[in-house]
Amino acid sequence: MNRVLLTYIMISLAAWTLSGQVFEKDAPKKALKYYEKSVDAFRSMDYEKSEGYLLKALEAEPEFVDAMLRLGDLYYRQKRYEEAARYFEKATALAPDYKYSVYQTLGRAYLHLEAFDRARQAYEHYLQNPKLPEKKRYAMNRQIENLIFSKKAKKHPVPFEPENLGKGVNTGDHEYLPTLTAGDKLMYFTRRIGRLEDIWMSRWKDGRWQTAEELGEPVNTADYGEGSQAISPDGKSLYFAADRGDGEKIRGWDIYETQRSDSGWTTPRMLPKPVNTLSYESQPCISADGRMLFFSSRRKGGYGGKDLYVSYRQADCSWGKPRNLGPVINTPGDEEVPFIHADGKTLYFGSNGHPGMGGSDLYYSKMDDTGGWSTPVNLGYPLNTRNNEAALFVSSISGYGYFASDQLGGEGGYDLYRFKLWDSIRPEPVAFILVEIFDRESGEKLDADFDLVNLEKGESILNSGCNAYLKDYFYLPLPLETEFALNIRRPGYLFHSAHFSLTGDDMFRIRKVKVYLDRIKSGKRIILKNVFFESDSFRLDERSFTELDNLVDFLKKNPELNIEIGGHTDNTGDPAYNRQLSRLRARSVRDYLLSHGIEAQRLSFKGYGDSKPIADNNDAEGRALNRRTEIRIQ
């Protein structure tokens, strides 16, 4: 705030406090006449004339408190905050306890002037009202928390540099709630024309977003609103909110799912209970692995207005009973538009219940191994402002955040923007692998089932069981520096075994993997890339069990097959010792299969030592490839 102005107000207050006070009921006739004319002019929205009458009323009676309050309110409505503060301060100096509500407006005027300490004083005086209802007392204490935060945030702005996404997506209408596929090649967003919301899509091509296309039927409808969408990383599954009703008398917004095929989007399916209820459910977000569905709801049992919930995919592919994210995330206010990053841990969301800049701000929180959440962190100023910021999408590839704003110029209304994330608000590093499956002989693209396993935890983190639409190709979001097993299977083919981990070099990248499946024929081989032994031992490592269970399943589904289990080593050490070690390792695999119901007559084993290398033994990488367990169809 202008220091000269503030000094002027303080000096004036000292003089005004010594004076008397006049109210509407005892104002002189001349002053009252101008005051009443100002009221009539205000009702006619003639603010200029209303202001003139109020100034004349104060000329007639300089200590007319009601005229000061009305003039202050008039200036505040016109965003003339310095003048509003001057007259509010004069009125409250003359009559400190006349109308407590004025202190709330005075505090807001000082917030606009960034006079945070003066705003806090005004708010604290407002709280001295002995008749203040508890809800309003809570709301005022929240505003005090916000201005304390705002003062600190303004002193330490974040490096926020937004870029408008261009005329391909932004128009004079409202565009908001962007969500992107992996690789940032397709963007879906909500566009509101008039009162109707629909879902639109734009493609990234030639260095810019192309002219957006409306999705059309069956996703969008002519009579209902659809929006607040979330797209899976591969672009094949779309979750969105709509207010269609679908036969219910009264519903409100519900969550729907549709899948993309070669012929277009399938007819949307409203998710059944317990996800949807007769209450408000909206703003869905599907995790990159397809196992968690986050959304906002006003259902009973929450902590306030809208709360955030998560539902987990069950073994039968249904969605489990939604869990409230709890009081660390949810407040007596509204929490909205959740976005869970591909790391499966970092949640971004909007809230007007946590300390912030004043409206709805953007926050992030991290999920720990028990499913608990860290204290939400405000993303900072000037990304967050006194206006409402409620939704953020964070790319897993580019390190950009995507959001909507009507405060940055643009084409009109809400426009879509992006900005580069700074270090303190970045999620955990992840990378993607894109897997495509082919027939080795014909090169034809195949559908197949898959299972991705975290070898360190021994648990499946993504499979095709509940994601049948993923079978021809799929994106897998993976944390770095973790070992994974990928098993791919299709009837009539040998199953494929892969072992890999992603390093820092893979961060924010998509590694493309082509898998070629062999038809089941005599002499064909499978390298079991996820069978491990303790060093210089034939004892199976527990990480091998997932792979061997897949082999058990393969043999049970193909009971006519007999196999040879071959053990192989590199050329380090004594050849005779290597042959014996490889034979014992092959026998360990045979014994595991026997213990899981595979008949002995179908199994043979042999140790080949270093006699059949598949790579150069002169380097560590080649030797690692040569140390292997193979299955040969007999």
Does the structure show a pLDDT above 80 at 47? yes
Residue 610 lies in a domain: yes
Number of separate helices (H) and strands (E) present in the chain: 11, 33
Name the token pair of 110.
């000082």
| Residue 493 sits in the same domain as residue 564 | no
Domain boundaries, position 443:
429-519
User: What is the structure's pLDDT at 484?
Assistant: 85
CA pair distance 215, 194, nearest whole angstrom:
18
Question: Do both 145 and 272 map to the same domain?
Answer: no
* 618 in the same domain as 482: no
- Are 362 and 346 contacting, i.e. CB atoms less than 8 angstroms apart? no
Q: Which long-range contacts (CB under 8 A, 24 or more apart) does 556-562 make?
A: 556/597, 556/598, 557/491, 558/520, 561/520, 561/602, 561/633, 561/634, 562/601, 562/602, 562/603, 562/604, 562/633, 562/634
Identify whether 530 is part of a domain. Answer: no
The residue among 456, 463, 448, 542 whose CA lies nearest residue 496 is: 448
125 vs 128: CA distance, rounded Å: 5
Whether 8 has a pLDDT exceeding 50, the answer reads no
- Domain boundary pick from 374, 405, 425: 425
Q: 207 and 324, same structural domain? A: yes
Report how far Cα 471 is from the mean position of its chain's Cα atoms: 25
Whether 2 has a pLDDT exceeding 70, the answer reads no
Choice between 464 and 318, residue whose per-residue pLDDT is larger: 318
Spatial strand order in the sheet of 415-420: 163-164, 415-420, 400-405, 393-394
* Residue 525 within any structural domain of the chain: no
Q: pLDDT at position 18, please?
A: 40
Nearest-5° angle of CA 337, CA 341, CA 343? 155
Contact 74, 43 (CB under 8 A): no
For the chain, how many residues are written? Answer: 634
pLDDT band at 238 (very low <50, low <70, confident <90, very high): very high
Q: How far, in Å, are 225, 385, 507, 554, 606 from residue 563 at the CA level? A: 58, 67, 40, 11, 11
CATH number at residue 364: 2.120.10.30
Q: Which two tokens stand for residue 3?
A: 């220091």
Q: Are residues 290 and 341 in the same domain?
A: yes
430-439, strands of its sheet edge to edge: 473-479, 430-439, 510-517
CA dihedral 215, 220, 221, 222 (to 10 degrees): -60
Are 58 and 130 contained in the same domain? yes
Band the pLDDT of 513: cuts 50, 70, 90: confident
Number of independent structural domains in the chain: 4
Domain match, 446 and 371 both: no
Per-residue model confidence (pLDDT) at position 471: 61
Average pLDDT over residues 356-374: 93
Which of 134, 155, 176 is at the close of a domain? 155
C-alpha 252/C-alpha 463 separation (Å) is 34
Residues 242 and 219 both lie in one domain? yes
Q: Which residue has the tokens 């971004």?
A: 348
Domain contains 321: yes
Q: Does residue 615 lie in a domain region? A: yes
Phi, psi (rounded to 5 degrees) for 306: -90, 135
Structure-derived torsion over alpha carbons of residues 342, 346, 349, 353, reported in degrees to the nearest 10: 170
Tokens read off for 212: 């957006």
* CATH number of domain containing 78: 1.25.40.10
- Provide the CATH number for the domain around residue 629: 3.30.1330.60
Residue 230 is which amino acid? A
Q: Say if CB 613 and CB 571 are below 8 A apart.
A: yes
CA distances from 213 to 169, 264, 284 (A): 9, 14, 22
Section 181-189 average pLDDT: 91
- The CATH number of residue 496's host domain is 2.60.40.10
**pLDDT tens digits for 248-279?**
544 679 999 999 887 899 999 999 999 999 89
Q: Convert 562-584 to b/e letters by CB count within 10 Å (16 or more is b).
A: ebbbbbbbbeeeeeeebbbbbbb
Domain-ending residue, one of 88, 120, 155: 155
Together in a domain, 501 and 603: no
Does any domain span residue 529?
no
Give yes or no: residues 312 and 360 share one domain: yes
Amino acid, single-letter form, for residue 587: R
What is the 3-class SS of 16-76, one letter each residue? Answer: HHCCCCECHHHCCHHHHHHHHHHHHHHHCCCHHHHHHHHHHHHHHCCCEHHHHHHHHHHHH
In this predicted structure, the answer to whether residue 306 has a pLDDT above a threshold of 50 is: yes
Q: Do 438 and 379 share a structural domain?
A: no
> How big is the CA angle at 433 (ends 367 and 507), to the nearest 5 degrees?
60
Q: How far apart are CA 292 and CA 519, in angstroms?
A: 35
Ranges of beta strands (E only) in 330-372 are 335-340, 346-351, 361-366
Residue 526 in domain:
no
Question: What confidence tier does 468 reach under pLDDT thresholds 50, 70, 90?
Answer: low
CB atoms within 10 A of CB 8: 12
- Is there a single domain that holds both residue 31 and residue 109? yes
What does the pLDDT look like over 314-337, one tens digit per residue?
Answer: 888 899 999 999 999 999 999 999
> Is residue 70 scored above 90 in pLDDT?
yes
Strand order, beta sheet including 377-378: 335-340, 346-351, 361-366, 377-378
**pLDDT on residue 192:** 95
3-state class (DSSP) for residue 321: coil
Query: What is the predicted pLDDT for the residue at 481?
Result: 78
Confidence of residue 17 (pLDDT cuts 50, 70, 90): very low
The more confidently predicted of residues 462 and 212 is 212
Residue 475: inside a domain: yes
Q: Helices 101-112 and 116-126 sit at what angle, rounded to 10 degrees?
A: 170
